[in-house]
Structure 1
Amino acid sequence: MALLEIRNLSVSFETSFGGFKAVDGIDLTVDKGEVLAIVGESGSGKSVGMLAVMGLLPKTAKVTADVMTFDGADLRTLTSGQRRSIVGCDMSMIFQEPIASLNPCFTVGFQIEEVLRQHLGLNRSQAQKRAIELLELVGIRDAEARLGAFPHQMSGGQCQRVMIAMAIACNPKLLIADEPTTALDVTIQKQILDLLMRLQAEHGMGLIMITHDMGVVAETADRVIVQYKGRKMEEADVLSLFEAPKSPYTRALLSALPENAVGDRLPTVSDFVMDETAPGAAQ
C-alpha cells in the first residue's frame, strides 16, 4: 500500500472573475522511502495540490478527490483534531520563502519547541534539548545560542535549515519540500539539497520535492510528475523522463535548460506546439 495515494484531486477557487480551477484531476502516489518530484512552471498547481493534501488551503477553496489517503487514513473524512495530529507530525511540509514562513514575533527555539510539545508531549526542558539536537542535525553552528535568535537575525539559508528542523522534528513518514532552495545562492542551494537527501535516506521518509528546476529533479528524484495548468502532463521514472520525454511540455522544459541554448537565446514553451489533447500530453 502506498504511503500517500491521491486520485482525481481537483482544487478550485471562486474569484471576482468567476471560478478558477488550480488543480484539475491529479493522480499521484508516494511510497515509503521514495522521492517524487513534481515539476512545472509557476502557476501549474504544484503547491496548491500539496497544500490541499495538508489541509492548509482557505475554506473558500473547493477540494474534491476520489481517493486521498495517507498511511491508511482517509484525509477526506478526518476531523480537525485528527488532521492536526497528523499534519506537522507524520506528514510535514517545508514552505517557500523560509523567512516569511517563520513567525517574526517568536524565537526560532520557541517555534521548534512548540512542535515538539504539541505533537510529542515533551516538557520545556526536553523540548529545548531536542531543539538543540535538531539545529545541530541541520548544520546550524552554536545551536544552543541560536535558540534565542529571531528569524530576522538569521540568514535565508539558516532560516531554511530551521524550517527543515521543524519539519523533521517528529520524524515524519512523509516530507513535502516546496521549492526548498528558492531565493538561496547556489552554494547554499547545494547544501540544502544535500541535507534533505541525507535526512531522507537516514530516516526512510517519503519525500515530495516541488520544483521548477529540472536540475534539482535530476539530482534528487526517483520518479517525476510534470504539471501544466493544473493538469498532469506526464509521469515517469527520472531516467526515462530525461531520455525519452513523451509530453510536448516536458520536452519544452528540458529544451529550456541553459546547456540547450542556441546562441544567446533559450527556447521557450511557446516555441513548442502544445496540444493538450494529444497522446502523452495529459496522462
Structure 2
Amino acid sequence: MSLLEIRNLKVEFDTAKGPFKALDGVDYTVDAGEVLAIVGESGSGKSVAMLATMGLLPDSATIAADKMEFEGLDLQTLSARDRRRVIGKDISMIFQEPIASLNPCFTVGFQLGETLKAHTDLRGKKVKTRVLELMHAVGLPDPEGRFNAFPHQMSGGQCQRVMIAMAIACSPKLLIADEPTTALDVTIQKQILDLLVQLQRDSGMGLIMITHDMGVVAETADRVIVQYKGRKMEEADVLSLFERPQNPYTKALLSALPENATGDRLPTVSDFAEAGGF
C-alpha cells in the first residue's frame, strides 16, 4: 500500500469570470522512502494539488477525487479535528516563501515550540530542548542565540531552515516541499536540497518535491510527474525521463535547458505548442 494515493483529483475555483479548472483528473502516489518530483511551469497545478491534499485551499475551491488516502485513511471524509491530528504531524509541508510563512510577531523558538505542543506531549523545558535539537539538526548556527530571534532578524536561508525544522519536528511520514529553494541564492539552494535529501534518507519518510527546476529533479528524485495546465503529461523514473522522454511537453522542457542548446536561441515551450506538439 502506498503512503499517499490520490486518484482523479479535480480542483475548480470560483472566480469573477466564472469557474476556473486548476486540476483536471490527476493521479499521485508516493511510497515511504521515495522522492517524488512534481515538475512543470508556473500555473500547472503543482502547488494546488498538494494544498488540496493538506486541506489548505480556500472555500472558493471545489475539490473532488475518486480516492484521496494517506496510509489507508480517507482524507476526504476526515473531520476538521481529525485532519488537524494528521496534518502537521504525519504529513508536513514546507512552503515557498519562508518569511511569509513565519509569524513576524513571535520568535522562531516560540513558533517551533508551538508545533511540538500541538502534536506531542512535550511541555516546559523539554520543549526548548527539542527545539534546540531541531535547530541543530537543520544546520542553524548558534541555536541558543537564534532561539529568541524574530524572523526579520534572520536571513532567507536561515528562515527556510526554521521552516524545515518545523516540518520535521514531529517526524512526519510524508514531507511536501513546495519550491523550497525559490527565494534563495544558488549556494544556499544546494545546502537546503542536500539537507532535505539527507533528512529523507535518515528517516525513511516519503518526500514530494514540487519544482520547475529540472536540475533539482535530476539530483533528488526517484520518480517524476510532469504537469501542464492542470493535467499529468508523463510519469516515469528519473533516469527514463531524462534519457527517453515520451511526451512532447516533457521533450519541450528538456530541450529548453541551457545545456541542450543547439543554436543561437533556446527553444521554448511555446515553440512546441505552436507546432502542435501538445
Give the TM-score of the pair, scaled to structure 2: 0.98
Runs of at least 4 residues of structure 1 off by over 4 A? none
Matching residue of 2:115: 115
Provide the alpha-carbon RMSD of the alignment: 1.3
Q: For 1:102-251, list aligned pairs within 5 A.
A: 102-251=102-251
Matched AA of 2:186: V
| Partner Cα distance (2:201, 2:73) in 1 | 24
Checking the alignment, whether the CA contact within 8 Å between 1:249 and 1:274 is kept in structure 2 is no
What whole-Å deviation, never above 9, does each CA across 1:100-138 have from its counterpart, x for those lacking one? Answer: 111111110011000000100211211111000000000
**Structure 1: segments with no counterpart, 5+ residues:** none
**Structure 2: segments with no counterpart, 5+ residues:** none
Moved more, 253-262 or 56-65: 253-262
| Partner Cα distance (2:243, 2:274) in 1 | 20
Matched AA of 2:235: E
Task: Decide whether aligned partners of structure 1 residues 257 and 187 sit closer, same or farther in structure 2, where only a CA change above 3 A counts.
Answer: same
Matching residue of 2:84: 84
| Partner Cα distance (2:53, 2:197) in 1 | 22
| Partner Cα distance (2:81, 2:24) in 1 | 28
Is 1:65 paired with 2:93?
no
Is 1:37 paired with 2:37?
yes
Give the TM-score of the pair, scaled to structure 1: 0.96
Is 1:94 paired with 2:94?
yes
Matched AA of 1:85: R
Matching residue of 1:8: 8
Checking the alignment, whether the CA contact within 8 Å between 1:4 and 1:69 is kept in structure 2 is yes
- Shift in Å at residue 264 of structure 1? 4.3
| Partner Cα distance (1:243, 1:123) in 2 | 52
Matching residue of 1:48: 48
Question: What is the DSSP-based 3-state SS (H/G/I as helix, E as strand, rest coil) of the residue aligned with 2:96?
Answer: coil
Task: Decide whether aligned partners of structure 1 residues 252 and 215 sit closer, same or farther in structure 2, where only a CA change above 3 A counts.
Answer: same
Matched AA of 1:65: A
Q: Percent identity?
A: 73
What whole-Å deviation, never above 9, does each CA across 1:123-162 have from its counterpart, x for those lacking one? Answer: 1211111000000000011101101011110000000000
